[in-house]
Amino acid sequence: MNNEQAGLYFHIPFCKSKCPYCDFYSVRYDEALAEQYVQQICNTMKQYQGSFDTVYFGGGTPSILEPALIGRILSCAKEQFDIDDRSEITIECNPSKDLSEDFKRYASYGINRISLGMQSAVDKERFALGRSAGRAEVERAIVCAKKAGIENISLDLMLGTPKQTVESLDCSIDFIKNTGVKHVSAYMLKLEQGTKFYEMRNRLELPDDDTVSEMYLKTVSALDASGFKQYEISNFSVPGFESRHNTKYWTLVEYLGIGKSAHSLWNGRRFYYDSEWNKIDDGKGGAQTERIMLGLRLNKGVEKSLISADYSKLVGMGYIEEKGDRIALTPKGMLVSNTIINMLI
């Protein structure tokens, strides 16, 4: 296992409404229920000890909570754990809410990174994804975060969504470039079972696979030209602004997840909490197959010594590139990463 300081994750499962593409665990926001949930988070933390240099609030919609509740969680964490003064502390936010005062409170708590749910800078595409805020609200949130002193901002971008075209993607990429954000997470839409989009799959008008592939490769190229370097299949950043927390997942640094559906790699074991707060053991973590599967998500790839399979044909076909004593997927290879990884493990 990697000996770096660990990451601390809090899952906040509350949302105003369920997005039609989302299969993450979430429930409708209720003020009293949120208070109880936060108290349960604080109680659960008392079962652990650790040293952390990243903290991440994911969801759900963490920003739906009153800022004081976020502050309470952080206060409990600092009482129970050793939280490095230089920690990267991230909260996911939905721009449909006026976040101007929230950002000021977040900054006072030590939160220094915002992950903003943009999905698209084209309003009709955002609305087709069930988002209630438009481009103007996203732009306002970015401005407010910066005014609060939080410059490290990440935007989510979705590819292959209803009403999206290769041409309209330019609008979103130009928006990203002009806002001065530091990080982009670009995900291709997947129709997951249990979601509204999955139920509607035969009626949805979606770009075909070839078009989605073109969108992905265009995103990689255009973001690179705008100063965002790809460091993982779906993640791009201005150099020095890679997500320190998420990188722990891919490099098998330990992390502790607190909350319903939150997963952990802790003391060499994987476990998670289910929707009833039951702790479910998920086996030993850190096997060689995991090192390969997770490492190949990263642009730096993995050591050749980990791979016993013959990958020479994949190099010749442009799916893999050799980087000294390492191999890595090319952007073309990342499009079929699951297939290639299964061939190598």
Question: Cα–Cα distances in Å, from 39 out to 72, 82, 114, 186?
Answer: 9, 20, 24, 34
HSE of 302, CA atoms in CB hemisphere, 13 A: 23
CA 82 from chain centre, in angstroms, equals 24
Q: How high is the pLDDT of residue 2?
A: 55
Tens digit of each residue's pLDDT (9 = 90 or more) over 134-144: 899 999 999 99
Q: Is the pLDDT of residue 29 over 60?
A: yes
Q: Is the pLDDT of residue 25 over 90?
A: no
Amino acid in position 137 = E
Q: How high is the pLDDT of residue 200?
A: 84
Tens digit of each residue's pLDDT (9 = 90 or more) over 162-215: 999 999 999 999 999 999 999 999 999 988 888 888 788 888 889 999 999 999
Tens digit of each residue's pLDDT (9 = 90 or more) over 41-89: 999 999 999 999 999 999 989 999 999 999 999 999 999 999 999 999 9
Percentage of residues in the chain having pLDDT higher than 90: 86
Q: How many Cβ atoms from other residues are within 10 Å of residue 74's Cβ?
A: 21
Domains along the chain with CATH numbers = 2-248 (3.20.20.70), 287-345 (no CATH)
Q: Is there a contact between 77 and 110 (Cβ–Cβ < 8 Å)? A: no
pTM of the model: 0.95
pLDDT level of residue 1 (50, 70, 90 thresholds): low
Q: How high is the pLDDT of residue 207?
A: 92
Biggest distance spanned by C-alpha atoms of the chain: 59
